[in-house]
């Protein structure tokens, strides 16, 4: 099976399993999505969704957020981990949105990645899910699956993103990256599958005997 054939099978299977692709992080607009994605770094979406209702009830706009101190923000988000850094980033980016963007989240990779605490992956999620711009954010689930299915050589997430964008049509990226995540959590997790167990792995590589070691 060629790489193109593998990619086509993966896309067809994931579309069948996940015809709907709801965003896992609860939010009401681009700003609350940005904050939720920032909080999800090294934290589960489930935990983020437990934390954000109280925070957003208190402050769900940049102007409301900067009325809180960094320490107050930290108390809301402490269960997410890395709360000292994340609270400073949330306060800082909110102030920048007020000063430079009229309190509006910019629909630009360059402007988003210039914000504190916002890297390429976070910017990609916001661009794809808030603004509909084609992007393929790569998290640990996607990186692992792309390697197991030999859609990338797996040197790093940057290379994985480039390889996946080449493997799939641009119009499918925004839904497909969510489908990868759903499948990785439910069927091909780090512990639940080693590259030989789940339905897609076993179909693509029926003769595979050894576990696939994921490169970081």
Residues 76 and 145 in one domain: no
Q: Is 110 exposed, middle or buried (0-12, 13-18, 19+ CB in 10 A)?
A: exposed
CA 115 to CA 11: how far, in whole Å? 33
- Say what the pTM is: 0.90
Output the pLDDT for position 184. 93
Alpha carbons 104 and 86: distance in angstroms, whole number: 20
**Do 65 and 8 belong to one domain?**
no
- Whether residue 38 is found in the same domain as residue 119: yes
Among 98, 104, 113, smallest CA distance to 29 is for 104
Predicted local confidence at residue 161, as pLDDT: 95
pLDDT of residue 78: 94
Q: Are residues 125 and 152 in the same domain?
A: no
Q: What is the DSSP letter of 139?
A: -
C-alpha 132/C-alpha 165 separation (Å) is 16
Quote the number of domains for the chain.
Answer: 2
Please tell me whether residues 36 and 108 are part of one structural domain: yes
The pLDDT score that the predictor gives to residue 178 is 95
Tell me, yes or no, whether 212 lies in a domain: no
In this structure, the answer to whether residues 123 and 172 fall within a common structural domain is no
Residues 150 and 88 in one domain: no
Domain termination site, one of 100, 131, 162: 131
DSSP state, residue 212: P
Same domain, 62 and 110: yes
Residue 210 domain flag: no
Q: Note whether residue 209 is domain-resident.
A: no
- What integer pLDDT is reported at residue 215 of this predicted model? 78
Claim to verify: residue 141 and residue 127 sit in the same structural domain: no
| Domain assignment present for 213 | no
Domain hosting residue 148, numbered range: 3-21+136-204
Those residues with Cβ within 8 angstroms of residue 190's Cβ, 6 or more apart along the chain or in another chain = 140, 144, 214
pLDDT at 207: 93
Q: Which of 139, 150, 165, 215 is catalytic?
A: 139
Tens-digit pLDDT string for the chain (216 aa): 899 999 999 999 999 999 999 999 999 999 999 999 999 988 999 999 999 999 999 999 999 999 999 999 999 999 998 999 999 999 999 999 999 999 999 999 999 999 999 999 999 999 999 999 999 999 888 999 999 999 998 788 899 999 999 999 999 999 999 999 999 999 999 888 999 999 999 999 999 988 888 876
Domain presence at residue 176 = yes
On whether residue 79 sits in a domain, the answer given is yes
Q: Are residues 83 and 14 in the same domain?
A: no
CATH number at residue 46: 1.10.340.30
Q: Which of 71, 106, 131 is the last residue of a domain?
A: 131
For residue 211, being part of any structural domain is answered with no
Active site residue 213: no
Nearest in space to 38 (alpha carbons), one of 156, 111, 123:
123
Is 121 tagged catalytic? yes
| CATH number for position 189 | 1.10.1670.10
| Domain end (from 88, 105, 131) | 131
Are residue 89 and residue 176 in the same domain, yes or no?
no
Does 214 reside within a domain?
no
Q: Look at residue 102 in the predicted model and tell me its pLDDT.
A: 97
Between CA 2 and CA 28 the distance in angstroms is 42
Considering the domain architecture, whether residues 153 and 61 belong to the same structural domain is answered as no
Q: Is the separation of the CB atoms in 112 and 127 below 8 Å?
A: yes
What DSSP designation does 171 have? G
């Amino acid at each position: 099976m060629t790489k193109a054939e593998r990619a086509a099978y993966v896309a067809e299977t994931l579309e069948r399993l996940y015809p709907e692709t709801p965003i896992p992080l609860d939010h009401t607009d681009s700003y609350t999505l940005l904050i939720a994605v920032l909080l999800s770094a090294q934290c589960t979406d489930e935990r983020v969704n437990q934390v954000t209702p109280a925070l957003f009830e208190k402050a769900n706009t940049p102007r409301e957020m900067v009325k809180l101190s960094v320490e107050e923000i930290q108390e809301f988000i402490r269960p997410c981990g890395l709360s000292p850094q994340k609270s400073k980033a949330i306060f800082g980016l909110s102030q920048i949105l007020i000063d430079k963007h009229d309190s509006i989240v910019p629909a630009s990779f360059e402007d988003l990645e210039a914000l504190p605490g916002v890297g390429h992956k976070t910017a990609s999620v916001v661009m794809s899910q808030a603004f509909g711009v084609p992007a393929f954010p790569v998290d640990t689930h996607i990186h692992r699956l792309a390697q197991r299915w030999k859609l990338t050589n797996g040197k790093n997430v940057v290379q994985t993103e480039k390889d996946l964008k080449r493997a799939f049509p641009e119009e499918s990226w925004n839904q497909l990256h969510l489908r990868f995540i759903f499948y990785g959590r439910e069927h091909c997790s780090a512990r639940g599958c080693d590259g030989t167990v789940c339905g897609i792995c076993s179909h693509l590589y029926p003769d595979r005997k050894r576990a696939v070691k994921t490169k970081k």
